[in-house]
Amino acid sequence: MKKFAILFFLQALFACSIYAQGSEICDNGIDDDGDGLIDLNDPECTCQLPSLILNSSFENHSQCPTTYGQMSYSTPWVSGNLFTSTDYYNSCGFLLQDFPATGLYPFPHGDGVVGAAFINDYKEYLATCLPSDLIAGTNYTLKMLIACFPLTNTSYHPAGITCGNTPDYEPVEVTIYGSATCTNLMVAGVNAPTQNLAWFVLGSATYDPAVEWSQLTLNFTPPTNIRAISIGPPEGILPPNYPVFTSLYPPNQCSPYFLFDNLVLNETPIFEVDYGDICINGNVLTATPAQPLSNNTTYQWYYQGIAIQGATGPQYTVITGNGIQDYAVKITDNGTCMVLYPFTAPMDTPVITQTDACNPVIAATPGMAPYQWYFNGIAITGATEAQHTPIATGNYTVTGTLACGPTNQSDAVAVTVCSDLQIIKTITDVVNGQVTFKLTAKNAGPQNDNNVVVTDVLPTGYIYTSHTTNTGSYDPITGFWNIGDLAVNNEDELFITATVNVSGDHTNTATITGLNNDIELASNTSSVTPNGELYLSKAAEYTTYYNEGEIITYTLILTNTGNITVHDIVIDDDNADAGSIIPSQIVQLTPGESITITAQHTITPADVAAGVVVNQATVIGETYNDIFVKASSDDPATAEEEDATITNIVVEADLQVTKTNDQEVYQAGTIVTYTITVTNDGPSIAYNVDIHDNLPAGITIMEWTGSNATAGSSALNETVNNLLPGESVTYTVTLTIPDNFEGNLINVATAESDIFDPVLGNNKAVDTDTPCLDCATGPEPCTTCPPFFIPKGISPNGDTMNDRFDLTELGTINKLEIFNRYGRQVYSHTNYTNQWEGQDNSDNELPIGTYYYIVYFEEKAAQTGWVYINRNN
């Protein structure tokens, strides 16, 4: 970095060989040659790098040019093509009349320059034969001064007229060609020298055409020894907006025209020599050349390029008030010439070497330790390494250290780090028509942010009243809350109080910004609207009820789901029993607060007829400025919102009739006793239950008594006003079997009511006894009939009487199975005798009722029938 900077300004050389074409004396403070340039300001007085090209700035000439195409006057240069004419200009002769208007004249380095057109199919080159070969494999550098402007067709404007409107020519490759010999110095053609096989491309550099002088550098390494060079346009087609030769007509056609001056060619290391500086110690300047000097060294000090008379030593004390940077010293030592300036070594701009937006790393030019990094112009404590990891967004500069001291601060590199700024806006409350907004600004990291601003301009629905904040300042007019620095995981709060207008926009939005890259923009904005909102859920204690007069108890939960307090709340329910809503009025609910309410409804005949109770409550409350919020209750068990709570009313009573006489055979001339039980299995009350047990055929004597204190003779025809769910009525019926009775004794009992019965199959009980045929003609009593008896019921109530289903007298039983009325097996036992006492397979008590059995005997057919469990007797 230092070498390039110094050389650009110093223009030093090893062997000083100044072409003394003028008569400027370089140390007398006088413009001796009348060109307006005095002493060191005149190019004749500067140290010129040696060039391997003869007449490199086109000052030498065989005669002054008088028109176009006289390139050969500037010996030893010639036009590179036979059929195009490269132009030579010199202040002693031919110049374009518009040169002064372009600002390119006076020429930058002496009196002579060369002009060449860059036109497709009409390319102009400047060629020369070198005094010695360029050696194959050696690195060379060519530096030149170059400029460009558009020129009209010179066939019609012999004086050379520049175009009125400057075309914006695209960048082009300025190319150097080489040949091993000087035999074909001028190529027969109108395009690149490589149309002749003796020529090839050595190198090129991209030039962005501009109407101003600038330096262009070409670096190349010849593959073979080179004796001739040619410089000009590249091979092939020029960029799109460069014309073709046939398009130059009409005469006002513009063509790109390039000027060349001061072509310095040498081995690349020559350009990289460090010649030293002027070191500064207070007001004392000391020439500090980097090259060893002899005893023949001379010094001349200059101020603003003009020689200081008598200042000819290695040190000079500056005059107070003069700028140190305006001084220079010219050193000559035998064949060496150099111009040194006060040490103000520039520093390259730091480079961002890690492009991760959240973890940037910046690096300075290596080899210049110790360093000092600066953030926005302020030194960063401890930041003295070649690399630095920024932790804040801003401009970073750096200085390095060289022999004379620290370099200048570099140009700044802008670095942006990351953070996740968040703004959360809520409403703390609305009281007496005034709302208070709470703004919470947070930095979730990973880096601190140094210039955080929150913008919150109140919309038309509010009138600003006041604010408080723990950090920064808030301007209610602009809406800017200037927080400044916000460290990682820190929070700052702002409270804004405003009067709420009845009309206008009530949505208040805040945004947060900072200097850093924000990795999550979604959290940079927050909006809030005063929202008085109530939610009322309503659920019945049970989903289904079965009887008129039952009371449905509802649980209502009222929640303030808004962000402001709701007050003076009233709950109403037209279908609730009077006075059953508790509480029916609530003073207020703050945001998020809930309260539980109960209500009741007594089932009416109309409800029973409808089969459902549809119930919905309403709630109304006040928020601010007579703005009310209303809601209807919602059934939380459904997806639909604000739907009524529907409770089913199912009226049905399942009547079950059982009948048994605890025997399966009868003996004529005896009395048989039956037990008839009618049970309401619910779920509703059974009204007007009609119970019938008619006289069996052939039976004339029948007596009965009921558990409900009723009795009668002959057939049983009884109506029970109501039978509650789970309630039973039992009848004891006795029949006298005539002596001459034959056939099966069949007794049928039935029950029905005014209420729908969902299971009709158990409303009828039939008991069939077969006659004891072996004893039909035998003596009385009939003692030879085997007691083949399967019980019709059991009463497992722990009194040891009829607790078990006892089949021990029936022989070997392989298996017993018990089924409920739905056909599901509830009990099974192998090698059965008397193990069942009304339990299921898990030893749980089975409910009262009639059960179906199958008895599997070992030596005879299976027997089936019904058995009744009665735990009440």
Rounded distance between C-alpha atoms, residue 580 and residue 555, angstroms: 11
Domain boundary among 722, 748, 775: 775
Clarify whether residues 429 and 538 are in a common domain. Answer: no
**Tokens linked to 139:** 């690195």
The reply to whether 638 falls in a domain is no
Beta partners for 454?
Answer: 481, 512
The reply to whether 632 falls in a domain is no
Rounded distance between C-alpha atoms, residue 320 and residue 314, angstroms: 19
Closest CA to 421 of 381, 450, 391: 450
The CATH number given to whatever domain includes residue 802 is 2.60.40
When pLDDT is cut at 50, 70 and 90, the band that residue 36 belongs to is confident
The reply to whether 380 falls in a domain is yes
When pLDDT is cut at 50, 70 and 90, the band that residue 253 belongs to is low
Torsion of CA 109, 112, 118, 123, to 10 degrees: -140
The reply to whether 397 falls in a domain is yes
Clarify whether residues 505 and 545 are in a common domain. Answer: no
When pLDDT is cut at 50, 70 and 90, the band that residue 350 belongs to is confident
* The 3-state secondary structure of 382-447, one letter per residue: CCCCCEECCCCCEEEEEECEECCEECCCCCCEEECCEEEEEEEEEEEEEECCEEEEEEEEEEEEEC
Domain boundary among 415, 430, 464: 415
On the CB side of 466, CA atoms within 13 Å amount to: 2
pLDDT at position 2? 25
Residue with more model confidence, 333 or 632: 632
pLDDT at position 234? 97
Clarify whether residues 216 and 90 are in a common domain. Answer: yes
pLDDT at position 17? 32
Clarify whether residues 613 and 729 are in a common domain. Answer: no
pLDDT at 13 over 50: no
pLDDT digits (tens, 9 = 90+) for 108-138: 888 899 999 999 999 999 999 999 999 999 9
Clarify whether residues 392 and 260 are in a common domain. Answer: no
**Percentage of residues of the chain with pLDDT beyond 70:** 91
pLDDT at 18 over 70: no
Q: Phi then psi for 453, rounded to 5 degrees?
A: -130, 130
When pLDDT is cut at 50, 70 and 90, the band that residue 660 belongs to is confident
The reply to whether 508 falls in a domain is yes
- Going by the DSSP 8-state scheme, the letter that residue 636 receives in this structure is T
Cα separations in angstroms, 619 against 222, 243, 558:
96, 85, 9
Q: Mean pLDDT throughout 533-562?
A: 91
Beta partners for 517?
Answer: 418
The CATH number given to whatever domain includes residue 541 is 2.60.40.10
pLDDT at position 274? 63
Clarify whether residues 137 and 266 are in a common domain. Answer: yes
In sign, the C-alpha dihedral spanning 45, 51, 56, 62 is positive
Of 269-273, 336-340, 381-385, 631-635, which range is least confident?
269-273
Number of domains in the chain: 7
Clarify whether residues 75 and 101 are in a common domain. Answer: yes
Q: Phi then psi for 808, rounded to 5 degrees?
A: -65, -25
In sign, the C-alpha dihedral spanning 204, 210, 213, 215 is negative
- pTM for this prediction: 0.43
The reply to whether 500 falls in a domain is yes
Rounded distance between C-alpha atoms, residue 348 and residue 366, angstroms: 10
pLDDT at position 10? 30
Q: Phi then psi for 380, rounded to 5 degrees?
A: -95, 120
Clarify whether residues 18 and 55 are in a common domain. Answer: no
**Distance from first CA to last CA of the chain, Å, rounded?**
116
Q: Mean pLDDT throughout 626-655?
A: 89
pLDDT digits (tens, 9 = 90+) for 593-615: 999 999 999 999 888 888 899 99
SS3 of residue 301 by DSSP: strand
Clarify whether residues 25 and 46 are in a common domain. Answer: yes
pLDDT at position 161? 52
The reply to whether 265 falls in a domain is yes
pLDDT at 241 over 70: yes
Q: Mean pLDDT throughout 419-444?
A: 89
DSSP string, 194-236: GGSTTEEEEEEEEE---SS-EEEEEEE--SS-EEEEEEESPSS
pLDDT digits (tens, 9 = 90+) for 688-743: 999 999 999 889 899 999 999 899 988 999 999 999 999 999 999 999 888 888 88
Clarify whether residues 173 and 253 are in a common domain. Answer: yes
Domain boundary among 224, 252, 270: 270
pLDDT at 342 over 80: no
Clarify whether residues 285 and 164 are in a common domain. Answer: no
Q: Mean pLDDT throughout 492-512?
A: 91
Clarify whether residues 686 and 760 are in a common domain. Answer: yes
Q: Mean pLDDT throughout 339-365?
A: 81
Domain hosting 401: range is 351-415
The reply to whether 316 falls in a domain is yes
pLDDT at position 542? 92
The CATH number given to whatever domain includes residue 703 is 2.60.40.1530
The mean of the pLDDT values for the chain is 86
Residue with more model confidence, 166 or 464: 464
